[in-house]
Chains A and B, each alone.
Chain A
């Protein structure tokens, strides 16, 4: 019998800071083990060797912001058995989705002297707006330990499991004093866990960089911010319109205060 072929992994980047795919290289203790278990077939940031698909598992970092990338993601999907979207950019459009709330041509003119050379789409959109995504791992950046567990799940042929509770639960598990009690506004009650409740642990309010949790009550939190903590409407807009600005729950909440 011929020896079993190692599963082929590919890593693709669209509009992003590169941080989520870098998380794989940041697995300093595990990288060589991962490289032993899979064939890293396409990962431009790490290797000159670029092997054509099909790929067994594809990790996608970044959002779709150009016509070129909108075409490319179709190719990536066709070449991939499983496709996992990494981070806020790939799952909701990222911080660059702030353009979705403005006129993009004004943005181009603000940065580039000759806007005619810049080709970009009106909106920054998540991967799932273009192709089927088998699993979305959220975070800005993603948690590298969650990344390893998701990769491992696909290699084992089982569904990935990522806890979907709010940051508040992690905060309680860490024994933190609630920062809201100390007078600091915190998005923890409506934000998906995964970071380990970092911000409250460092005495600051969560700023929502893992995106909305399932069924978040953003309106109740906004009311608390404004009535009990005196937060202004523009600051409510800024709180929800940041790293997950384009995620529906946060988008609706920011729009409710942007009049």
Chain B
């Protein structure tokens, strides 16, 4: 056989603009490039000179799907810098806000972006013609997540209520009560979702990944914890840049992030699940087992099951937080600026989101560094495709191209985030 190229000019059902180019020569894969051509927006540059209080609102504009993640990493980095620890109901409300974003983002990805691949539809709207009840359930589940974010944050996209130190206004118990009612429905819906996606057919594919996630020890991680991996990494977040490095490649506007010691790694739902399985709720663990997962899952195609399990976890956690909530006297802890550096990483729906800020004595940002999940997963996505395509060269072109797209979507890549991605092209020469 001669050479060939798999080229997906615009990758669909991902957030942002990117493509994929795979070169094949003499029945061997010779190159894989995930191309992120989303135009760069230079957030790290224009954060310089802004007040530390502006970081949550400005960085949320990096991503319309996971603005809460940006707000959470920003406020935690600022608080770490300024020596503020947020406890009690304010801390719980931040976990609740993140539950909302996970439910909304995972709901979107599981039902609208990824499931159509497994069932052979171009999109969820086409899928809705044959499976109307499931698509409606998915939309309603997504809405439950969005309702949490808008109740706490004012609106679903770019919430306005998050500040360094806490919130501008804390909700009353009565404000949260309607959420509990819809969350009870969502618990049953999430169980159905796990069963549904557990029944899909998954391509056989595994690699010996290094999974990296936060581990808190008492809770499934959102905002706090040490950075750990299945290959011995166990560090404080402030030491992140001693262990990880970002590199620029000519074909992408997103920087590639790697572990200095061991290269590419894997962040996101699968990594969180594998490193924190013991901290899921008993029901989430039981449903994962029923869907065919053990405590460790190495098949990235099964990440759709893990997302559904995490939705169930987030629903249960949200219910527990609301049941225990008492309105705090003050919505935020006081903060005062000083010249210092602060670091934080939180678990965005797609994985680890690292922020570092250097402030002057007035709280003006002198330097900002942001490492989003998709730039961390880029190397792993390319390595996956290399191995995946090599074993499937005999497949018809259309089918192989679609499966490559599906492989990329396993990571729920967020390209707007990564440029601080998806066209697929297969090239055979």
Indicate which residue in A19, A50, A112 contacts B12 across the interface (CB closer than 8 Å): A50
Chain B stretch 39-96: residues in CB contact (< 8 A) with chain A:
39-46, 48, 50-51, 54, 57-58, 61-65, 67
Nearest opposing residue in chain B for A207, CB measure: B57
Contact of A95 among B58, B113, B126 (CB under 8 A): B58
Interface check B183, CB cutoff 8 A: no
Chain A residues within an 8 Å CB radius of B113: 46
Query: Do B143 and A199 have beta carbons less than 8 Å apart?
Result: no
Q: Does B13 contact A (CB under 8 A)?
A: yes
Q: Tally A-B pairs: CB < 8 A.
A: 183
Contact status of A45 and B44, CB under 8 A, knowing A15-B39, A112-B248, A243-B61: no
- Residues in A whose Cβ lies below 8 Å from that of B140: 28
> Is residue B257 within 8 Å, beta carbon to beta carbon, of the partner chain?
no
- A14, A99, A120, A202: most-surrounded residue (chain B CB, <10 A): A202
B207 at the interface (CB under 8 A from A): no
Residues of A within 8 A of B62 (CB): 17
Tell me if A40 and B125 are in contact (CB < 8 A): yes
Chain B: number of interface residues, binned into ranges: 35 or more
Most buried by B among A21, A44, A111: A111
Q: Which residue in B39, B45, B157, B167 is a CB contact (below 8 Å) of A26?
A: B157
**A158 contacts the other chain (Cβ, under 8 Å)?**
no
Docked complex Cα distance between A238 and B46 (Å): 11
CB distance from B144 to the nearest CB of A (A): 9
Interface string of B218-254 (1 = CB under 8 A from A): 0000000000000000000000000000011010010
Q: Does A1 touch B at the CB level, under 8 Å?
A: no
The answer to whether B416 touches A95, judged by C-beta atoms less than 8 angstroms apart, is: no
Q: How many residues of A contact B (CB 8 A)?
A: 63
Establish whether residues B16 and A46, one from each chain, have CB atoms under 8 Å apart when the complex forms. Answer: no
What CA separation (Å) do A38 and B406 show in the bound complex? 27
Chain A residues in 8 Å Cβ range of B157: 19, 22-23, 26, 141
Which of A17, A99, A118 counts the most B-chain CB atoms under 10 A from its CB? A17
Which A residues touch B63, using CB under 8 A? 17-19
CB-CB < 8 A to B154: which residues of A? 198-199, 201-202
Q: Which residue of B lies closest to A204 (CB)?
A: B168
**Interchain CB contact under 8 A, B12 and A96:** no
Contacts of B43 in A (CB 8 A): 95, 111
> B112 on the interface (CB 8 Å rule)?
yes
| Contact partners of A113 in chain B: CB under 8 A | 247-248
Among residues 201 to 234 in chain A, which have CB atoms less than 8 Å away from a CB atom of chain B? Answer: 201-204, 207, 209
Contact A238 B45 (CB under 8 A): no
- A18–B16 CB distance below 8 A: yes
- Report whether B12 and A45 are in contact in the complex, using a CB–CB cutoff of 8 Å: yes
Which residue of chain B is the closest to A109 with respect to CB atoms? Answer: B45
Do A203 and B13 form a contact, CB below 8 Å, given A23-B157, A28-B142?
no
Tell me, rounded to whole Å, the shortest Cβ–Cβ distance linking A166 to chain B: 17
Would you mind naming 20 contact pairs between A and B with Cβ atoms under 8 Å apart? A15-B38, A15-B41, A22-B65, A23-B157, A26-B146, A32-B132, A32-B135, A32-B136, A32-B139, A45-B14, A46-B13, A47-B125, A95-B43, A107-B45, A111-B42, A201-B154, A203-B169, A207-B160, A238-B50, A238-B54
